[in-house]
Amino acid sequence: MMELPIDIHTVKGFLSDDEGAALYAMALDCAPLGPCLEVGSYCGKSSVYLGVACQKAGGLLYAVDHHRGSEEHQLGEEYHDPELYDEAIAKMDSFRVFRSTMDVAQLNDTVVPIVASSAMAAKYWSTPLSMVFIDGGHSEEAAQTDYRSWVGHIMQGGILAIHDIFPDPAEGGQAPYHIYQQALASGLFEELPMVNTLALLKRL
């Protein structure tokens, strides 16, 4: 049974309850096999679901995010949050809130923050991963970079999860859907049932 040490609805983020529960269940199964990794931590909502599961299973979660916000979080954009904007440097900064979330959720012994771009974090990466959750920038370039950077590190039997899958362009951005289609076309993955906008694929 999933029990979270924090009221998840107090954490900023765009993950639905059913999507969070699915991430938790997948991480709980995967974490004993090797570390999990997420791209796009923001304020730590998904990190709580994944991190608590990893903690329960005795595993580890790497949380990759430059914490300067995606394209849609910037000043004047649709999902800009003024509470996360640092006036002194005129940049977004979600890392201080992320750290606070990890403190409250008692996950500092399980979640390893990597404050860097996806490409930089992956440049010399060599550790096999039991689960990769992609929820970074939604531009085509950002999504493709996340996919290319991490998909090759997923171990056999591991899980690739991709958030914000909208087959209909009228409902949302297409970049996550495109990398989901690439993963299916690669022949490396078996498709599992989708949960809301969360795609789940198992590495063959």
Catalytic residue annotation: 138
DSSP assigned state of 172: S
109/127 Cα distance (integer angstroms): 19
- Neighbour order of strands in the sheet with 198-203: 111-114, 61-64, 36-39, 129-134, 154-162, 198-203, 189-195
9/20 Cα distance (integer angstroms): 11
15/164 Cα distance (integer angstroms): 9
